Amino acid sequence: MINRKIAPQIKDAVDFDITLKPCEKFTLDNGIPVYVVKSDEQDTLQLEMVFPGGSWFETENLVASAANFLMKNGSSKRSALEINESIDYHGAYLNRNSHHETATYTLHCLTKHLTQLLPVLQEVILDPIFSEEELATFQQNMKQRLAVNLQKCDFVANRHIDKYLFGEFHPYGRVSNMEAYDALQTQTLHAFYKRHYTYNNCKIFVAGNLPANMIALLNQYFGTTKWNGESTIVRAPLPILPAEEKKFRIFNDENGVQGAVRVARHFPNRYHPDFSKMLVLNTIFGGYFGSRLMSNIREEKGYTYGISSQIYNFRQTSAINIHTEAGRDVCEATIKEIYKELHTLQQEEVPEEELHLVRNFMIGSILGDLDGAFQIIQRWKNLILNDLDENYFYNNIRTIKTITAGELQQLAQQYFTPEDFYELVVI
Amino acid sequence: MIHYNKFTLANGLRVIVHEDHTTPMAVVNVMYDVGARDEDPNKTGFAHLFEHLMFGGSVNIPDYDEPLQMAGGENNAFTTSDLTNYYITLPAENIETAFWLESDRMLSLAFDEKSLDVQRKVVSEEFKEHYINKPYGDVWHKMRDLAYSTHPYKWMTIGKDLSHIEDAKLEDVKAFFFKYYRPVNAILVVGGPVTPEQVKTLAEKWFGDIPSGEKLPRKLPVEPKQTAAHKLEVKASVPLDALYKCYHMPGRVEKQYYAVDLISDILGGGASSRLNQVLVKEKKLFSNIDCYHFGTLDAGLLTIEGKLVKGVKMKDAEKAVQIEIDKIQQEIIPERELQKVKNRVESMLAFEDMELLNRANNLAFYELMGDAELMNKEFSNYEAITTEDLHREAQQLFDEKNSNTIYYYADK
C-alpha cells in the first residue's frame, strides 16, 4: 500500500537550469533588422512587424490606434474585402495591435501559404489608402462598442485608475471618448502612418517553421526600397500629472450587483533595481492562485471570483495595480483586507516555506513560458524593444532564486505604504 | 498525426499517453464524463460548483494547490454542459506530484463544510460577474430557455438560478462525487517527455486501487423536433438593440456536424465572412455580427448574434439577415468559398495542436466522444464535405420552424 499522505519527491524548480534559446539576427538590404527563432516541429510560423507607432507618438487622441486598425482596410490595389478574403482564404490570421509605445502587425499562417500571403502583407504595410468610407464605418462601430463597454464597471474602473495615476493628458492615462472618434480624419491618419511606419523604424520578428529562403523573401517584399522614407522618431519623456485626491467612489450603474475595485500606486520602470525584486513580492502578494490576496479574499472570505495584483510593464514609469470585481456590499471590506495584506508584508517576514514555494512556482512558470519558438521570440522581442539583452533575463532568474525574506520585507516597507495608494470603487 | 498509446486499468480508468520529447514540461489531464446536462433540473449549476470544490482538499491531502506550486506546476479546470476537465502543467521531472494529487481527489474529497460555504459565495460572484453585471449578460439564459423545451441544455452551466447554488448541501456534494467521479467515468491523458511504460507504472501505482464505480447509462430527455418558430422580446438597460437567432443543429458526434460547422464559418468566420461583409461593411446595419456554435455533444444551437447600428429598425435588420440565410439555403456556395473555410479549419487545427496542453485536452475529448483516434480523422471529415452537402444541410438547418429569435431592445 502506498502512503498517500506523503508527497512524492520533487526536484526543486530553483535547481532547474533555464536557458533562453538564442535568437539569430539578420539585416535586410535596406537595414531592417530581422530576429529569428527557428523550430521545425510544426508547420506553422509567426511574422511580426513592429513600429514606434503607439499612442505615445500621437498628437491627437486615438490617431495611433485608428491608423493601425485602418491600414488593413484597403490599399491602392485591393479593397478591404479583397485583403480580408485573401488572408482568410489561406487560413491565416493578420492581427494588428496598437500599444502605448509600439504598433504591430502579426501574421500567423501555415508555412506552405507564406509566399501567397507576403504580397498582401506588403500592401497593407506599404500601401494603405485610408478611405473616408472605411473611417466612417470604423468611427460608428467603435463608438457603439464604447457605449456598451461604458456600462461595464470593470472597463470604467480601468480607465479611471490610469487617469488618476498618470493624468489624462499622458498617453498612459488618456482614454477613448466619442468626441475623439468623431474628430478623426483620414489625412491625419495617413500622415501619422507615413511618419511612423517607415523602413528605418521597422523591426521584424519571425519564429516557427520557416522556408529556407525566408530572408530572401523578406528582402523581396520589405528590403529593397526605403519605403515611406526615413523619419526620426524622438521619444522624449512626458510630464506625469497624477490626481491630487487618492480615494474615489463612482456610481456607474445604480442596479449594479458588483463593484470594480482598484487599488494602485506608482512604481519605477523595469530599469530600476527594485523592479525584478518587486516581481517576486508581487507574486507573493497577488500574482498567483495561492497568493495572499486570493487566499484571503477569495478562498477564505468568498468576496470575489478572483483578485490579483499586477505590475504594469510601461516604459517611462510603471505602477502596481490591485484589481477585482467584488460583491457590491463587500467592496469596502475587500479594500480593508487589501490594506491588511499590504500591512502584514510590511510587518512580518515572508515565511521560508512560502518563499520557497513562490520561487518554485515562478521558475516553473518561466520554464513553461519558454516552451516553443513563438514564446521564445516573444521574450527576445521584449528584451530588444526595451534595449535590453539576455543578461536582464538571467538577472531576473537570479533574483527569484536568491532574494531573501529580509529584502522582501524592506521592499514592502518602501512600496506598500497604504497612503501611497489610489483607491477606486466603480459600481 | 498525433501519436499516442492507450490502455485501460483494471478499474476502468482509460489512460492515454502522448509522448513529446521537445518540451521540458508535462501535462496531466483528467476529464470526467459529467457536465451540466447531467444535473437535476432543481439543482442546476452543480457540476460547475463541484469543480470548485475539487480544489478544497482531498482525503489525504489538505491543500491541493500548495504542493503543486511547490513542484513548479500550474493547474486549472473548466466545466461545460457535457464534461468537466482538470489539467496540470508542470516540469516533467515532477510529474509524480500530479499523479499523487489527481489520484487522491479521485479517491475521495475531504468534503469540508467550510470549503462548500466559501465556494458557494465565489460561484455566486462568478455568476454575477459574467451573467448579471454585464450588458446583455442574461441573453443566454433566455435563449436556452426559449430554444429547449426538454433537454438539459435548457440551463446554463453556471446554473439556472443563483438560489440553486446557494442551496447546495454537503450531502448533494457527496452523492454527486461518488456517482460521477469514479475511474470508470474518467479519462487520464499524460503528455510530454514521458514513456508509456513510465506512465503505466505511475498510473497503476496511484490510480490502480481506486474503486471502479459504476458506469451509468446516460438517459437524457431527448429534445423533440421544433415545429414552430419561437420569438421573444426583451427590453433591458443596454445602449444598443441586439438581434439573436438560434437554429437547432446536429450534435458533435453526428456526421452532419461538419457541414454545419463550415456553414457557420462561411457566415461568421473571419473578416471576409458573409455576415460581416454584407451587414456590417456594405449595408451598415450592424456594428458587429457573428455566427458561432458551442460544438456540444448533443444537438446544439447555431447562433447568429449582432448589435444594430443606432437608428436601424429591428425589422430591417432581421430582414437583411434573412436575405443572407435565404441565399445560403438557395444558392450553391462557390468552390473557392468552401475551400476558404476548409483552409481555415486546417490552419486552426494546426495552431491548436502547437500546444501540448491542447493536444492532451483534445485527446481526452475525442476519447470521451468515443475514440481518441477521431482526433486524427478530424480534418479529413471536413475535407470530404462538398458544396452539395452544405446546400442540403443549410436547407434543413435554416428552416424557419427551426428558429429561435430574441429581439433585445435598449430601453434608453
Each residue's pLDDT expressed in tens, for chain A with a length of 427 residues: 799 999 999 998 778 889 999 999 999 999 999 999 999 889 999 999 999 999 999 999 999 999 999 999 999 999 999 999 999 999 999 999 999 999 999 999 999 999 999 999 999 999 999 999 999 999 999 999 999 999 999 999 999 999 999 999 999 999 999 999 999 999 999 999 999 999 999 999 999 999 999 999 999 999 999 999 999 998 888 999 999 999 999 999 988 999 999 999 999 999 999 999 999 999 999 999 999 999 999 999 999 999 999 999 999 999 999 999 999 999 999 999 999 999 999 999 999 999 999 999 999 999 998 889 999 999 999 999 999 999 999 999 999 999 999 999 999 999 999 999 999 999 9
Mutate to test the interface with B, among A5, A6, A10, A37 (most CBs of B within 10 A): A10
CA-wise closest residue to A95 among A47, A44, A32: A47
The answer to whether the Cβ–Cβ distance between B356 and A371 falls below 8 Å is yes
Between residues 2 and 21 of chain A, which touch chain B (CB distance below 8 Å)? 2, 4-5, 7-11, 13, 16
Torsional class of A91: left (φ above 0), alpha (ψ -120 to 50), beta (otherwise): left
Mutate to test the interface with B, among A251, A367, A369, A397 (most CBs of B within 10 A): A367
Closest Cβ–Cβ partner in B72, B205, B310 for A367 = B72
Specify the DSSP class assigned to residue B1: -
- Distance between CA B59 and CA B107 in Å, rounded? 8
Longest dimension (CA), chain B: 66
Angle, nearest 10°, between helix axes B387-397 and B314-330?
A: 140
The answer to whether the Cβ–Cβ distance between A10 and B97 falls below 8 Å is yes
Question: Does the beta carbon of B237 lie under 8 angstroms from any beta carbon of chain A?
Answer: yes
**Catalytic status, residue B51:** yes
Q: Do B28 and B74 contact (CB within 8 A), yes or no? A: no
Q: Which residues of A touch B90 (CB under 8 A)?
A: 364
Q: Which residues of B touch A108 (CB under 8 A)?
A: 351
Q: What is the reported pTM?
A: 0.95
Closest Cβ–Cβ partner in B93, B103, B240 for A11 = B93
Q: Which residues of B touch A41 (CB under 8 A)?
A: 22
Question: Does the beta carbon of A249 lie under 8 angstroms from any beta carbon of chain B?
Answer: no
Place of cell 459565495: B121
Q: Where are the alpha helices (DSSP H) in A298-424?
A: 331-347, 352-369, 373-385, 390-402, 405-415
- Distance between CA A374 and CA A117 in Å, rounded? 19
Instruction: Give per-residue pLDDT as tens, A263-282.
Output: 999 999 999 999 999 999 99
Q: Do A60 and A183 contact (CB within 8 A), yes or no? A: yes
Place of cell 530553483: A14
Question: Does the beta carbon of A254 lie under 8 angstroms from any beta carbon of chain B?
Answer: no
Closest Cβ–Cβ partner in A10, A81, A325 for B71 = A10
CA-wise closest residue to A70 among A197, A218, A229, A170: A197
Question: Does the beta carbon of A313 lie under 8 angstroms from any beta carbon of chain B?
Answer: no
Question: Which residue in chain B has the smallest CA separation from A146?
Answer: B239
Q: Which residues of A touch B350 (CB under 8 A)?
A: 42-44, 110
The answer to whether the Cβ–Cβ distance between B239 and A300 falls below 8 Å is no
Q: Mapping DSSP to helix (H, G, I), strand (E, B) and coil, where does residue B287 land?
A: strand
Longest dimension (CA), chain A: 77
Backbone angles phi, psi at B138, to 5 degrees: -95, 0
The answer to whether the Cβ–Cβ distance between A367 and B205 falls below 8 Å is no
